[in-house]
Homo-oligomer: A and B are copies of this chain.
Amino acid sequence: MRAMDHPEFTAAALAERFSLQLQGDGATVVRGVATLASAGPGQLAFLANPRYRSQLADTGASVVVVRADDAASVQGTALVARDPYVAFARISALFEKLPARAPGIHPSAAIDPTAEVSPDAHVGPFVSIGARSKVATGCVIGPGCVIGDDCELGEGCELQARVTLYTRVRLGKRVRILPGAVLGAAGFGLAMDAGQWVNVPQLGGVVVGDDCEIGANSCIDRGALDDTVLEEDVRIDNLVQIGHNVRIGAHTAMAGCSAAAGSAKIGRYCLVGGGAGILGHLEVTDKVLVTSMSLVTHSIREPGEYSSGTPLTDNRTWRKNAARFKQLDALARRVNASTQGSPE
């Protein structure tokens, strides 16, 4: 099994496999990948961001993936790609050591007799699977995962470790969920009655489209009446909170610690920055970028980049300016009064 442990490829083989243009010695052997700055012999690196162009001259990489207009600057062997970062992603997948997950159910797993688990799925130790849940062919359920009642996993899903699908979670194909994530927990639905909170039952589920990925310790609540929905190829980073009945459009990505409150609708191809928040019941159209730690307080109808917050400064400067923020309306009124009749 040496080949699997230490894979190697010639530059020519990589060029053919990924439809790249070869420049230089096709027999150059690639045994791994690295950054331009740290690569050594036998390693392949890439140049995507122009500001690292100066590293081309000094890199120890045997092969570099570049755009056509950088190819002339490569000393050794080059693979020319339309998008070097994508090409690099695909090549470096060849060197990814994936844990072996043999088909079969670990003897410790606790599986309800009404659950249906494909015989070629891998079910690890200390996994529990509830009533009527279905695990399709090619799924990998890592150690300590909890799948509750009435869940469905499509072909080739991967729950890495300690993932919870609490109830009524339906995953499409090839959904990957990182450790500790919780899908299908009750949404935060409360009604105040005579001074006490009453829980509003959360009768919906969670529907996750094909090729989605959910990060570590993130939470996606099940819907109150209808479902919470992620369309296909949605990418959720770690520690993200998705409230009940949120709908996220295809190919949208949300970075770490961001959140969408109940019933928010987010479009396709959106990017939500780290720590950003979207208030409940708002609608965000397609191709919106929300910068990190911004709060979306109204619906967004036009594609583009949106921000809130103030810039970072040293604390002394910040204190002076922040104190003035509290007087901003008064200041503006004063300016208005004193410049009335003035030009502009």
Query: Which B residues are in CB contact (< 8 Å) with A312?
Result: 294-298, 306-308
Question: Known: A83-B193, A86-B193, A308-B311. Is A161-B144 also a contact (CB below 8 A)?
Answer: no
Is A238 part of the contact surface with B, judged by Cβ < 8 Å? yes
In the assembled complex, how far is the CB of residue A238 from the closest CB belonging to chain B, in whole angstroms? 4
In the assembled complex, how far is the CB of residue A34 from the closest CB belonging to chain B, in whole angstroms? 6
Quickly give the copy total for this chain: 3
Is A25 part of the contact surface with B, judged by Cβ < 8 Å? no
Is A113 part of the contact surface with B, judged by Cβ < 8 Å? no
Does B203 contact A95, Cβ atoms closer than 8 Å? yes
Does B217 contact A182, Cβ atoms closer than 8 Å? yes
Does A131 contact B318, Cβ atoms closer than 8 Å? no
Is A233 part of the contact surface with B, judged by Cβ < 8 Å? yes
Q: How far is the CA of A51 from the CA of B323 in the complex (A)?
A: 26
Question: Known: A35-B226, A86-B191, A306-B312. Is A217-B253 also a contact (CB below 8 A)?
Answer: no
Q: Mark A86-120, 1 if CB is under 8 A from B, else 0.
A: 10111011011101100000101010000000000
Q: How far is the CA of A97 from the CA of B317 in the complex (A)?
A: 46
Does B323 contact A92, Cβ atoms closer than 8 Å? no
Query: Which B residues are in CB contact (< 8 Å) with A160?
Result: 166, 185
Does B328 contact A311, Cβ atoms closer than 8 Å? no
Residue of B nearest to A338 (CB): B339
Is A314 part of the contact surface with B, judged by Cβ < 8 Å? yes
Interface residues of A in 173-196 (CB under 8 A from B): 178-180, 182, 185-186, 188-193, 195-196
Q: How far is the CA of A47 from the CA of B201 in the complex (A)?
A: 17
Q: How far is the CA of A142 from the CA of B323 in the complex (A)?
A: 49
Does A256 contact B253, Cβ atoms closer than 8 Å? no
Q: How far is the CA of A197 from the CA of B175 in the complex (A)?
A: 13
Does A83 contact B191, Cβ atoms closer than 8 Å? yes
Interface residues of A in 271-304 (CB under 8 A from B): 274-275, 277, 279, 289, 291-298, 302, 304
Q: How far is the CA of A203 from the CA of B335 in the complex (A)?
A: 57
Interface residues of A in 63-100 (CB under 8 A from B): 83, 85-86, 88-90, 92-93, 95-97, 99-100
Residue of B nearest to A295 (CB): B293
Question: Known: A35-B225, A99-B131. Is A277-B292 also a contact (CB below 8 A)?
Answer: yes
Contact of A255 among B261, B319, B344 (CB under 8 A): B261
Query: Which B residues are in CB contact (< 8 Å) with A326?
Result: 311, 313, 317, 321
Q: How far is the CA of A259 from the CA of B326 in the complex (A)?
A: 24
Contact of A277 among B261, B275, B297 (CB under 8 A): B275
Query: Which B residues are in CB contact (< 8 Å) with A42?
Result: none
Interface residues of A in 308-344 (CB under 8 A from B): 308-329, 331-335, 337-339, 342-344
The 27 sampled A-B contact pairs (Cβ below 8 Å) are: A33-B225, A83-B191, A89-B199, A95-B203, A97-B203, A99-B167, A100-B131, A146-B162, A160-B185, A164-B179, A188-B256, A192-B251, A195-B251, A199-B213, A216-B219, A219-B239, A275-B277, A293-B295, A305-B316, A306-B313, A306-B314, A310-B310, A311-B323, A324-B332, A325-B328, A337-B344, A338-B342
Excluding A86-B198, A274-B277, 10 further A-B contacts by CB distance (< 8 Å) are A179-B185, A188-B235, A197-B233, A241-B256, A257-B257, A257-B259, A257-B277, A296-B312, A311-B323, A331-B331
